[in-house]
Structure 1
């Protein structure tokens, strides 16, 4: 049989002709996955963050259906999503759409005649794979924000309560003579840094010492004039985005926080030559789970709403920068948003701030009336 085009991931490149497989169905499925992985690698997609999770989801769906891709039907993907919703109470719409998009991409690959899988499956099994995800059985993107309505920025008082709780935990551990005071000091510094620079979890966890940057325009901040973020959120399977987050005067207390951590806390972990900014008792880089736990512990002590999470500090950063009258474009660059509409979703300015804007407008239009008061 004639081969298809020699595209990376083509069937004849990953499934040799003339070889008799003891389990042809399994061999063909594995070859499909390997071919799809090759196709994605040639597009320089990230293995750990994109390709591998996609392959895992396809295997998970295949296990759920107990069938091979050339046997899949639309009803099975519908049952799969319904099954996930039933098992996970907080199964997000965005997560469902992401799963559906991954399965759609896989089906597009195995149904594309250029890769030769339709002919190969017809030759081996008498049936060809088909696209199982369509407009009528997938989630539509009807709203800019699809997260929980309970998620919001923290108020200034809540931020202060959170930080007080994190600091108070250090004193409590010391007073009881227990271990963990050093880790609690580190956790307190992390929470303050996440807020002071509007960082995502991954961005905070992957900071290294060389990522602390000077700002020639603000020499008083020394080595803490900016943070160089190297592991920002990637787009469409691409590499992590990079950006420089400047230290702003309203959050320059973060300079003292980082300075104290580097001088008094981090050396006591004995990190040696480890480059990570945030290190653990085992001299390794702090995990994403530990970041979540640090926030959750402080949140419970502070008595703040349980719907809020670590990412809410990033929402708070955006909101408070806007309330400090920083231009929207500056805020967008600080947090690494490609579109201004994304930054707008993050913001939740207070009534007090909006009233100040109204009063400012009135003063401009009716300055004589305000001068008389």
Structure 2
């Protein structure tokens, strides 16, 4: 079918550019919706008016968020520019939806510890790394054994947002639990090798370059999944990592159990990490490097939520 062939071309272009699998599934999904919205017409037979009609439908009838509308537009732009290699003049005039400026949700130190107290095992360990090292969920779950440096108390984040590597701290509070956890992971790894089970999942380019890596200890996930699954890239069975949904559900349940009414999530730990460092007097450039922000203006948002409400102005009531 033509649509299947078109999506195969899009998929190949995404993988050539080394986009994440999450981006791949998201883009393919929006392209399917775009084609379906216009009754199955081929994108070559459509242009600016059809794209604007689809985006207007998302904004007016579906009432999606600005970030969702921009994601759909990014997918369609990728389809035309990269897959179909069509340079349409209307692309330069497309208006991107403006995301509203919102203050991030931040937990106090006491609230963080109350949430962590509701977690145990790998969920506690992962959430502690989110808060203690300022990691994104995907960065935490993608960690491999070789990314942990216990001597220098350091975590190396590989291929983070924007395809950048960075280093951040390894909290002292997780050293002993993390080493104990890695002992259990090593036992699982040894059992897999003894039974000739599949190795760890690797991106295709790395697996071609290091074919033995999936079966070597340094390349194993710090938080491996319990069951094997099929790689979306090669179709082979692999040992993957814990899925984000599992951790996100555990954290949401812990927030409720701790009696916290703020709409906190896994990413709230990262917001809290940055805010608490600034409250402690650390330089904003240092915090920027630890978070991996390209622009310090992104980090500046946390100066608005540190514990000096109202931008540090004292209320006349007080």
TM-score normalized by the length of structure 1: 0.62
Partner of 1:76: 50
CA displacement at 1:309 relative to structure 2: 1.0
1:210 is aligned to 2:158: no
CA displacement at 1:204 relative to structure 2: 0.8
Gap change, CA 1:307 and 1:270, over 3 Å in 2: same
TM-score normalized by the length of structure 2: 0.71
CA displacement at 1:306 relative to structure 2: 5.4
CA distance in 2, matches of 1:316, 1:334: 13
Partner of 1:318: 274
Partner of 1:156: 109
CA displacement at 1:270 relative to structure 2: 7.5
State which structure, 1 or 2, has the greater radius of gyration over its C-alpha atoms. Answer: 1
CA displacement at 1:315 relative to structure 2: 0.6
CA displacement at 1:254 relative to structure 2: 3.0
- Show the 5 A alignment for 1:285-364: 285-305=241-261, 307-347=263-303, 348-351=305-308
- Show the 5 A alignment for 1:104-143: 104-108=77-81, 110=84, 112=86, 133=91, 135=93, 138-141=95-98
CA distance in 2, matches of 1:226, 1:131: 48
1:255 is aligned to 2:228: no
* DSSP 3-state at the match of 2:221: coil
Please tell me whether the aligned partners of residues 104 and 131 of structure 1 are also in contact (alpha carbons under 8 angstroms): no
Please tell me whether the aligned partners of residues 150 and 175 of structure 2 are also in contact (alpha carbons under 8 angstroms): no
* DSSP 3-state at the match of 2:51: helix
CA distance in 1, matches of 2:105, 2:27: 30
Partner of 1:165: 118
Please tell me whether the aligned partners of residues 61 and 80 of structure 1 are also in contact (alpha carbons under 8 angstroms): yes
CA distance in 2, matches of 1:155, 1:337: 22
Gap change, CA 1:342 and 1:83, over 3 Å in 2: same
CA distance in 1, matches of 2:20, 2:173: 38
CA displacement at 1:213 relative to structure 2: 0.6
Between the two proteins, the alignment pairs up a number of residues equal to 274
Gap runs ≥5 in structure 2: 193-199, 201-219, 229-238
CA displacement at 1:85 relative to structure 2: 4.9
Gap runs ≥5 in structure 1: 1-25, 114-129, 167-183, 217-224, 359-373
Work out which structure has the larger RCO, using CA pairs closer than 8 Å and 6 or more positions apart in sequence: 2
CA distance in 2, matches of 1:266, 1:352: 44
Partner of 1:193: 129
